[in-house]
């Protein structure tokens, strides 16, 4: 513990996990804690906004939530790039200063390993805001030929997102009046679109079939030959394309890899407490290997568990609550309709998913999901 009265809590990454964790600490403890939240970016962007940007439904500027609007008692949000993490000593080095922590939480998310898939960096992607903006400018010139959404490895963020992308692409091409001149296919390294929920997968497969979208399950894109416009799958199949939209292989950011905290690309944690093997060091969100999907709702659930453990420790009462592995995901089915699946990873022997039929009414739920976080974290 520090010599000062307030324990120093340092949270790395102001994404879904870091924002929720620090908000909860501030709500519970106010100025009674000394929380430092560090992120290299100027703004937070919801993952699902990237699809809106790509299809020209929203401007990139409109989906940015600038960090200068984040103000919470007890929390300092610093714009710094983290260059080293010493988990043993709970010491973090940045491009502007070194930060020592009594409690350290790594919430740096997942990054994309373009080099893991030869040829991928010469293609389009929609998993970053910059990639979604580029696609927004590329899509209008795609008027005929084969479009392919190809996932290069699992786990990847938001398991339904590639399925949402092909359904939204179908709508986009319909609006442009060129759908009949185009083919759409989806290559996914999962056996079904949403494995924990057979009902959701069945509904998505039916939606693909109705729209003539070809689905290739249990395969990943192993390399891309841009000279021949050909994607090579992991079973050696070659798939020609005219427009390739890639989802790169994911892993923790380089600074986490270099810290020695990760194993096989992810940080090992106790899935229920999010504790790492280092004393008073936790990992939440996409970077932590909990066995739950890499999605904002799960990052948020893990953050709730860590916040409750820290609050219990600081107050000297109880143990806090465990991470429940439960999350609600909204899925764009096209035609303005949204489906919903409630996934539960830890209650039973196997994950389960409770499916809600897509409807226009559920769009309001999805919008509330975003706006409630926006106002909770950013105050508007």
Ligand X SMILES: Cc1cc2nc3c(=O)[nH]c(=O)nc-3n(C[C@H](O)[C@H](O)[C@H](O)COP(=O)(O)OP(=O)(O)OC[C@H]3O[C@@H](n4cnc5c(N)ncnc54)[C@H](O)[C@@H]3O)c2cc1C
Q: Which residues bind ligand X (CB under 6 A)?
A: 13-18, 38-41, 47-48, 50-51, 81-82, 107-109, 126-127, 157-158, 161, 253, 255, 285-286, 294-297, 299, 329-330
CB of 229 to ligand X, least distance (A): 24
Q: How far apart are the first and last CA of the chain?
A: 36
C-alpha–C-alpha distance, residues 343 and 305, integer Å: 17
**Shortest separation between residue 357's beta carbon and ligand X, angstroms:** 18
Q: What is the DSSP letter of 237?
A: -
Nearer Cβ to ligand X (50/232): 50
User: Which residues make Cβ contacts (< 8 Å) with residue 363, sequence separation at least 6?
Assistant: 336, 337, 338
Q: Which is nearer to ligand X, 156 or 278 (CB)?
A: 156
DSSP 58-124: S-GGGG-EEGGG---TTEEEEE--EEEEETTTTEEEETTEEEE-SEEEE----EEEGGGSTTGGGSE
Answer yes or no: are the C-beta atoms of 183 and 170 closer than 8 Å.
Answer: no
**CA atoms 206, 211, 214, 220: torsion sign:** negative
Q: What is the DSSP letter of 238?
A: E
DSSP summary character for residue 197:
-
In terms of CB distance, is 90 or 294 closer to ligand X?
A: 294
CB of 69 to ligand X, least distance (A): 15
Three-state DSSP state, 377:
helix
When CB distances to ligand X are compared, the closest residue is: 15
Q: How many residues does the chain have?
A: 380
Query: Closest distance between ligand X and the C-beta of residue 255, in Å?
Result: 4
- CB 17 to ligand X: min, Å: 3
Q: Residue 291 CB, nearest distance to ligand X (Å)?
A: 15
Q: Which is nearer to ligand X, 107 or 261 (CB)?
A: 107
Choice between 102 and 286, CB closer to ligand X? 286
In the complex with ligand X, the residue whose CB is nearer, 203 or 297, is 297
């Amino acid at each position: 513990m520090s010599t000062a009265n307030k324990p120093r809590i340092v949270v790395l990454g102001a994404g879904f996990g870091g924002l929720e964790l620090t908000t909860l600490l501030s709500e519970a403890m106010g100025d009674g804690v000394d929380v430092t939240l560090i992120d290299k970016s100027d703004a937070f962007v919801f993952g699902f906004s990237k699809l809106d940007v790509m299809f020209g439904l929203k401007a990139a500027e409109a989906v940015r939530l600038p960090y200068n609007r984040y103000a919470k008692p007890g929390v300092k949000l610093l714009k710094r790039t983290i260059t080293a993490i010493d988990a043993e000593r709970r010491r973090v080095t940045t491009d502007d200063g070194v930060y020592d922590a009594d409690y350290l939480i790594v919430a740096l998310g997942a990054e994309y390993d373009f080099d893991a898939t030869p040829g991928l960096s010469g293609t389009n992607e929609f998993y970053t805001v910059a990639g979604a903006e580029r696609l927004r400018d590329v899509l209008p010139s795609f008027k005929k030929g084969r479009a392919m959404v190809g996932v290069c490895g699992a786990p990847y963020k938001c398991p339904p997102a590639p399925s949402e992308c092909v359904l939204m692409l179908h709508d986009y091409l319909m609006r442009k009046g060129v759908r009949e001149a185009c083919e759409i296919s989806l290559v996914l390294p999962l056996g079904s679109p949403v494995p924990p929920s057979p009902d959701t997968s069945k509904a998505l497969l039916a939606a693909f079939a109705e729209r003539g979208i070809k689905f290739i399950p249990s395969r990943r894109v192993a390399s891309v030959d841009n000279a021949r416009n050909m994607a090579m799958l992991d079973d050696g199949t070659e798939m020609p394309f005219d427009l390739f939209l890639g989802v790169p292989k994911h892993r923790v950011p380089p600074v986490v890899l270099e810290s020695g905290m990760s194993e096989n690309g992810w940080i090992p944690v106790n899935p229920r407490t999010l504790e790492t093997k280092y004393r008073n060091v936790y990992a939440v969100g996409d970077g932590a290997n909990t066995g739950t999907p890499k999605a904002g709702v799960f990052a948020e659930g893990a953050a709730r568990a860590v916040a409750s453990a820290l609050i219990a420790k600081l107050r000297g009462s109880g143990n806090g609550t465990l991470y429940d592995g439960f999350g609600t995901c909204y899925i764009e089915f096209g035609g303005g309709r949204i489906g919903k699946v409630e996934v539960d990873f830890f209650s039973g022997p196997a994950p389960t998913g409770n499916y809600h039929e897509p409807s226009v009414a559920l769009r309001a739920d999805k919008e509330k999901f975003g706006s409630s976080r926006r106002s909770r974290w950013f105050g508007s």
